[in-house]
Structure 1
Amino acid sequence: MAEAQKDILESDEWQKAVDYEITDHDIERQRKLLGFDQAAKTREYIQTATEDNIRNFAHGCGDDNPLYCDPDYARKTRWGGLIAPAMMCAQINRPMLGDPVPDEIKALRKSLFRGIHVFVSGSQWDFYRPVRPGDTIYSFNGDETCEVKASEFAGKSVITVRRDVKVNQRGEVVAVYRILRVLTERKTAAKKGKNLSIQPASYTDEEFAKIEEIYAAEQVQGATKRYFEDVEKGDSLGVQAKGPLTVTDVICFHAGGYGFVPYAPTANRLAHKNRKRIAPFYVKNEQGIPDVAQRLHWDPKWAQAIGNPMAYDYGVMRENFLYQYLSDWMGDDAIVLHVHDEIRKFNYMGDVQTVTGEVLAKRKTDDGQNVVDVAVKFTNQRGEESVRATATIALPTKDNPLPLYPEVPRALAQKAAAMMARHWELGGK
C-alpha cells in the first residue's frame, strides 16, 4: 500500500468516511422500493433547452457537430434547426410536481445505503423524439431491479437499475434512460487496493503525435447521407480518440451542464447549505475542509482512499462520447433508436481511449424501419476494453430518405400524460 494512501486511511476523518457497510436491512428495503415511480423534483443546471446550452453541452463533451452547434447549418437539415445530442436530455430537468410520497416509502428510503459509494456502470437508452430549443424536460423515475453481487474490487456490492422517463412540456415521452448503478463499501474497496499498482500514463512527443493524428482524421458524416443500402455487415465505423483525460475535461463536462443534482459541486453559502442537508456526502480533506465525496473525479488522494490509484472520469462522460461517435458516423438524417453500454474499466487521469466500431447486422424492424445494429468499444493505452456498447440506428434509404422515431409504448405514453396532467393540476410551470 502506498504511504499516501496508508496515511489517509489511518486518519480519523477518512476512517469515519469509509466506516459504512452494505447491510441486509438496506438491501431488503431497496427491494421493497422496486416499481415505485415518483415525479423527479430536482432542478438541474439546465431546465429548458436553448441554442446556447445545447452548443455548450456539446462543446463540454468535445463535440463540434454543426447539427448541435451551428443554427444556420441546422436550419438546412431535416430537423429545421438545432437539436440536442440525444443523451443531453438526461441532464435537463425541471421539477415535476406530483402527489406526496407515501409515508411507508419515506421510511424505506430514510438513510438508505448511507455513506455507500455509488458509481454508474452503464446504461440503456430508448429514444422517441429529439430535444429542440424551447423544450422543457421533466421526468419521473423509480428502481426496476436490485441484485447483490460479490465484487473482486469491492467485496459485496449492490447492482440497481433505475428507470428515468424523460417527458417534454407537451407530455410526450422523449426517451427512457435506464441507469445501471453499482453500490460498494468504500472501506472494502480501499483495503482491496486492486488497482493501486496502475501507474499514471505519460506520453512522449511521438506518442502524443499519434493521438493527434487520430483527431485530425476524424470526420462528421453530417449532410452526406449514409444510406442503408450502402452499409454492409462488418463495415467499420471508423476510429476516434478520447483523451488523454485531464481534470480540465471533467471541468468542461460540468460547465457544459452536467449538474448531478442534488450532489452537484457548489460553492460558499450553497455548499454550506448542502453540508447541512447531506452531511455524509462531505468528507474532510487533508486540510480539514469538508468537500464532496465525488471529488474522486479530480482529487487523487481521495480516489486512493477508496481504492483507486488516481482520479477518474464520470461514466456518463464516456456515454456521451459514445453518442458523439455514433452521431458522427450516421449523418444528419439518421436516428439512434437504442443504446446499451457497459462501463467495464475506470478511465484514469492521463488515459486515452481509442474508439472503434463495426456493423453487426442489417434488418427491417416490425414497424418497417431499416436499421443497422452496431458494436462499439473503447480501448485504453493499456490495451484494456473500458467500454462495450451496442446500438441500433435507423438509416435513410434511397427511396425513403427520412427514418422515423418509433411509437412510444401505449402504457408508457398514457402514464407520462397522466403524470404531466397532475403536474399542471398542482400548478406546475
Structure 2
Amino acid sequence: MENRREPTLDLSPYLDVIGKELEQPEQFNYEVTRDSIRHFAHSVDDYNALYLDADFASSTKWKGIIAPPGYLMSHGHSAWIIPRLPKLQDPEGGELNLFAHAADDWTFLKPARPGNFIRSSSRLASADLKSGRKMGTSVLLRLETVFFDQYGEKIATRGGQYFLMNSSRGGPINQSPYPPLPDGGTRNVIQPTRFPGTFSLPAARRDSQRYYEDVNVGDELPVLEIPPVMLQNLGRFNAATIGTGVDEVGGEHDGMPDAYVFGHLRISWFARLILNWAGPNSWIHQLTQRNRQWLLIGFRASCAGVVKAKGMTDGEAWIDIDLTCDCELGFVTNVGTARVVLPLRHSR
C-alpha cells in the first residue's frame, strides 16, 4: 500500500508572531455613541428598545442604552487584521489567498454604553496545518481580540477561527449544496437605496422579561425567521462595522456560485433570538457560532434554540442554550451555544 504523503508547509512566518500583539490599524469606531449603536442595530434589523429608546432602557437594570452583542465588531474586526498576516504558498506553489471564516466565540463581561471609549488589541493565538478533501492543504488560524474601555477594564473577548486556503482548488464549490445558477447569475434582488426619510422603521421592540424560575431544560425558543439576505443587507452591515460597502454578486466568489452571507452576522442573529425571548434584564455572557455550510444571498434562514442546562454559580442564575441556523433548503448552516444570565423572580 502506498503511504499517504503528509502535507508540508512552512508555517514559520506565522509561528514567529504567535502570542505577539499585532499591528492595530485605525478602528472604525472608538467612542460608543447612541448613533453608532443605533446604526448597528438598524444594520442587523434588531429594533430592541434596549438599544434605541432611552426611556425604556432607563427602566431596565442597565439604567440606560447599551449596545447589542455584535456591536463590538465595529471596534475591532478581523477584516482589518487578517490582510496584515504573512502570505503563504501550498506545497504545489499556489498562494493561500482565501480566508474562510470558520467560527467565533465571544465572552461579554460588561455592556458597551454611550460615552465609553473602546480600543481593541489582537494577537494570533495559533496556526495549525490541515489537510482534507474539501480544501486541500490549509492552515487553521485562531485570532484573539480583547476589548478595553477608557478605564483599561476588559469588557469583552473574541476568538475567531479562519481557514487559509487556495481558492483555485475549488473545494468549497465542489461541496456546494445549492442549485446551479445561470452563468454569472445571481439571486440578488436590487432594492431601493435607503435614503433617510424614504422608508419607515419598525417600532422599537419592548420584550417581556423571562425569569430563571420560569425556564426548564428542553424549552424551545421561538424560531427567528430571517428573510432572504440580499447584497444591500450585507452592505448595511459592512457600513456599520468596517465603514465600507460590498460589491460581490454573480459568478464565482471565493469558490462559491454567488455572494454569501458573512458568518459574523450569526452572532447578531443568535443574540436577537435569545434576547427576544429572555428579555431586557438578561445578559448574554458567552456566545459562540460555528460555520457548517455557506449561506448564499437570496435564501431564507431560520434560527432556533433549545435550553440544555440551568444552574446557579456564586448566586448568579444561568441557562445554557444550543443554537442552530438552517437554510430554507433544509440543511444546517451554523451551530452555536450561549450562556445567558437571567434574573430571579424571587430574590434569595
TM-score (norm. length: structure 1): 0.67
What is the aligned partner in structure 1 of residue 316 from structure 2? 369
Q: Deviations over 1:229-279 (max 9, x none)?
A: 110000011111112111111112123x1217xxx55xxxxxxxxxxxxxx
Alpha carbons 2:49, 2:205 under 8 Å: kept:
no
1:196 positional shift: 7.9
What is the aligned partner in structure 2 of residue 404 from structure 1? none
**2:329 aligned residue (382, 399, 417):** 382
Q: Deviations over 1:62-118 (max 9, x none)?
A: 110010111222122211211000221122259xxxxxxxxxxxxx95545766111
Matched, 1:76 2:56: no
1:302 positional shift: 4.2
**2:9 aligned residue (24, 33, 37):** 24
Matched, 1:42 2:25: yes
Report the structure number with the largest CA radius of gyration. 1
Tell me: CA distance 1:220–1:395, structure 2 relative to 1, closer, same or farther (3 Å): farther
1:35 positional shift: 1.6
**1:173 aligned residue (154, 158, 166):** 154
Structure 1 spans left out of the alignment, 5+ residues: 1-21, 95-107, 203-218, 266-293, 402-429
What is the aligned partner in structure 2 of residue 237 from structure 1? 221
What is the aligned partner in structure 2 of residue 352 from structure 1? 300
Paired letter, 2:221? L
Tell me: CA distance 1:345–1:221, structure 2 relative to 1, closer, same or farther (3 Å): farther
Matched, 1:300 2:284: no
1:362 positional shift: 0.8
**2:137 aligned residue (125, 138, 156):** 156
The structure 1 segments of at least 4 consecutive aligned residues displaced by more than 6 Å after TM superposition are none
Alpha carbons 1:127, 1:175 under 8 Å: kept:
yes
1:47 positional shift: 1.9
Paired letter, 1:376? L
Structure 2 spans left out of the alignment, 5+ residues: 1-6, 78-83, 90-94, 188-203
Alpha carbons 1:144, 1:163 under 8 Å: kept:
yes
Alpha carbons 2:96, 2:165 under 8 Å: kept:
no
Report the 3-state secondary structure (helix = DSSP H, G, I; strand = E; otherwise coil) of the residue aligned with 1:315.
coil
Tell me: CA distance 1:112–1:72, structure 2 relative to 1, closer, same or farther (3 Å): farther
Report the 3-state secondary structure (helix = DSSP H, G, I; strand = E; otherwise coil) of the residue aligned with 2:28.
coil
1:318 positional shift: 2.0
TM-score (norm. length: structure 2): 0.82
Whole-Å Cα distance in 2 between the matches of residues 186 and 193 of structure 1? 12
Percent identity of paired positions between Structure 1 and Structure 2: 24
RMSD: 2.6
1:155 positional shift: 1.4
Matches within 5 A, 1:105-254: 110-111=86-87, 116-189=97-170, 193-195=174-176, 198-199=179-180, 222=207, 224-254=208-238
Whole-Å Cα distance in 1 between the matches of residues 302 and 336 of structure 2? 14
Structure whose residues are more often helix by fraction = 1
Report the 3-state secondary structure (helix = DSSP H, G, I; strand = E; otherwise coil) of the residue aligned with 2:251.
helix
**2:259 aligned residue (306, 311, 320):** 311
* Count of aligned residue pairs for this structure pair: 311
